[in-house]
Amino acid sequence: MSETVYEVMRSQGITRRSFLKFCSVMAAGLSLGPAYVYDIARALETKPRLPVLWLHGLECTCCSESFIRSSHPLAKDVILSMISLDYDDTLMAAAGFQAEACIDDIMQKYPGEYILAVEGNPPLNEDGMYCIVGGKPFVEQLRRVAAKAKAVIAWGSCASWGCVQAAKPNPTQATPIHKVLTDHPVIKIPGCPPIAEVMTGVITYITAFGRLPDLDREGRPKMFYSQRIHDKCYRRPNFDAGQYVERWDDEGARKGYCLYKVGCKGPVTYNACSTIGWNNGVSFPIKSGHGCIGCSEKDFWDNGPFYKHLSNLDGFGVEADADTIGMVALGAAGAGVAAHAVLTGIRKPGQEEGQDRPGDKGQG
């Protein structure tokens, strides 16, 4: 922990010029002005590296896969040098008791100073027996490590919302970590997986400024999650113009029109895909001609289908969304009213036997 980020990077052969480039990229990525480039550089030159304990619960490792593919040419080196990744059972050389000993070591040496990064979530059913790490339920490890953490980062939709293992009926009772670590502030970085630059950006921010970035109502960093895919989508002009892909093989699809009608979830999904892109900014789902499936939103697995922009609702049979249900209800109301009108015509309420209207027996 005595080494600074900059020292570690130089020792790995990264030039100062490249280091400053990285600082510029990060400042831009964090929506900061050019003046902050030097703040970031100074912080990385002077501050010791952050010890990070990266725990894995119920997950698919797609967050790790995304993270180690940080697109900026230097990012892999920079990020892995910026933090002192002291425990990550997927990436570390040590295994077994040695690996587990690293956790105790860091917790004793740096209480209140290390970052806990959580990929995946704990299943709570059967006392947490559906996910065992080091011979104990993962939820116990999570609670133990969180107790002395400076901050807790929830990587991905699993840790943030529950994701696929928490989809109905959620047999293992997989639970997002903020519901387990109720007395810790948890910063959510949802996505399945989250964008690599978003993950590195958050780590850079915490390293450089020594605090968590501004969070929105849901606990997501505002700099990456304050706008919908739809708001910055390059196909938004087609949406506003009324130009849509009606079918996957039609003229609109070839021309790259808006995918709203084939179920794009861009209008209901907060993420930075349409600005940052994936794989070194090469593309993102909509740019590749497929609608957004809303993977960074809560319970997106249960808000299907992926190819309709209105969800199906439970309890109304197959393929019933709000509009089909509403249409049936309105039809029933119309039919009810018509039947009532016919009955009214037959029964003639308000008219007594043999009485004509307007009556002549007025009592006035």
Query: What residue ranges bind another protein (CB under 8 A)?
Result: 216-218, 222, 226-228, 231, 237-246, 251-252, 255, 257, 260-261, 265, 267-270, 294, 297-300, 303, 309-311, 313, 321-323, 325-327, 329-330, 333-334, 337, 340-341, 343-344, 347-352, 358-359, 361-364
Min CB(141)–another protein separation in Å: 29
Min CB(296)–another protein separation in Å: 10
Specify the residue, 79 or 223, whose C-beta has the smaller distance to another protein: 223
Specify the residue, 22 or 270, whose C-beta has the smaller distance to another protein: 270
Min CB(26)–another protein separation in Å: 21
Min CB(221)–another protein separation in Å: 11
Min CB(340)–another protein separation in Å: 7
Which residues on neighbouring strands pair with residue 118, listed in sequence order?
55, 154
Q: How far is Cα 26 from Cα 56, in angstroms, rounded to an integer? A: 26
Min CB(360)–another protein separation in Å: 9
Min CB(224)–another protein separation in Å: 12
Specify the residue, 57 or 221, whose C-beta has the smaller distance to another protein: 221
Nearest to 127 by CA among 143, 138, 116: 138
Specify the residue, 17 or 347, whose C-beta has the smaller distance to another protein: 347
Specify the residue, 35 or 346, whose C-beta has the smaller distance to another protein: 346
Please answer whether residues 263 and 307 qualify as being in contact, where contact means their C-beta atoms are separated by less than 8 angstroms. Answer: yes
Q: How far is Cα 152 from Cα 62, in angstroms, rounded to an integer? A: 19
The number of beta carbons lying within 10 Å of the beta carbon of residue 248 is 12
Cα of 195 vs its chain's centroid, Å: 10
Specify the residue, 282 or 327, whose C-beta has the smaller distance to another protein: 327
Q: Given the DSSP bridges, would you call strands 132-133 and 136-137 parallel, antiparallel or unpaired?
A: antiparallel
The number of beta carbons lying within 10 Å of the beta carbon of residue 94 is 12
Specify the residue, 112 or 240, whose C-beta has the smaller distance to another protein: 240
Torsion angle of C-alpha atoms 177, 168, 307, 155, degrees rounded to 10: 10
Instruction: State how far the alpha carbon of 344 is from the alpha carbons of 334, 336, 338, in Å.
Output: 15, 12, 10
Contacts of 342 (CB under 8 A, 6+ apart): none
